[in-house]
Amino acid sequence: MNATPTQDRYQIAPDTWIIPQLVPVGAAEVAAINSMVILAAEPVIVDTGTSVNRDDWLEDAFTLVEPGDVRWIFLSHGDRDHTGNWSPLLERCPHAIVVTNEWGVRSMLADGAPSPERMLWVNDGESFSAGDRVLNAVRPPLWDGTGTRGLYDGTTGVYWAADCFASLLDGPVTNAGQLQRDFWRDSFVYEHRSYAEWLPLTDPIKYDTQVRASERLRPSVVASAHGPVLTGAMVGDAYQLLHRVARMGPVPPNGQSTLEEIVRATAAMESTQAA
């Protein structure tokens, strides 16, 4: 596989930053694991990255906001690539409250969930105040973790969609418009058909209603935990693709033969580098 690329945190809207982590997944493809920071009057950290990247992640977060100023830690759901650093983050941020829900707490039990006094449970359709703005929990069109909520900031028009709106990258890009169009579209469709393998079981009409729950917000920026941000016409294009994926068949999963190809390719690369 290719060497791990690096990427600095980047701004996507007023008061709003992405903390990226890039992971190589092929010879020319990269997956993103993103978090977001909203510098509201009461600053919010949205998802907390991975424990394997902890030192860099904490440094990036605390370069944007002082630990003592962090008021809210919003966890979209309990998957480990979204909750990897909530515990050390909470230790360093004495005034922070973890915004989660019942299923989020169950996921955190492996690390020892925070005390009830340091939690706020916010379900889909509910909201909380960050001082100068109200942030709304809106479930994304697709999800793979129980209890997933996206987060919509009406002040900036940014919608954090958790795992939805994902696509692979071909390098450290920040906006999907920087990707070759066919690469983005094919990757976007593949990602959603793969991680939501239950899609072919859904009623497409009911599914469309779920897609429209966030689409009707008309976000100006869509941020994903696993891809570059979408802006302008690409927001609408992405929603149209999401409407279509439920009407496509399932993606055959990769199996042992694919793993063996990866092992051979990795060994060949290491041999070349050692020569």
Tens of pLDDT, residue by residue over 79-132, are: 999 999 999 999 999 999 999 999 999 988 887 888 999 999 999 999 999 999
Query: Which residue segments constitute the domains of the chain, with CATH numbers given?
Result: 10-270 (3.60.15.10)
* Among the ranges given (1-5, 35-39, 86-90, 257-261), the one the predictor scored with the smallest mean pLDDT: 1-5
Residues 231, 220 contacting (CB under 8 angstroms): yes
Secondary structure of residue 84 in the 3-state scheme: coil
List the one residue out of 107, 98, 42 whose CA is nearest residue 74.
Answer: 98
Amino acid at 40: A
Helix ranges, the chain (H): 54-64, 80-83, 86-92, 102-108, 181-195, 204-215, 233-245, 256-274
- Measured CA to CA, the distance from residue 28 to residue 3 in angstroms comes to 10
Tens digits of residue pLDDT in 139-189: 999 998 999 999 999 999 999 999 999 999 998 999 999 999 999 999 999
Task: Say whether pTM exceeds 0.85.
Answer: yes
Mean pLDDT of the chain: 93
> Is pLDDT at 3 greater than 80 in this prediction?
no
> Is pLDDT at 11 greater than 90 in this prediction?
yes
> Is pLDDT at 1 greater than 50 in this prediction?
no
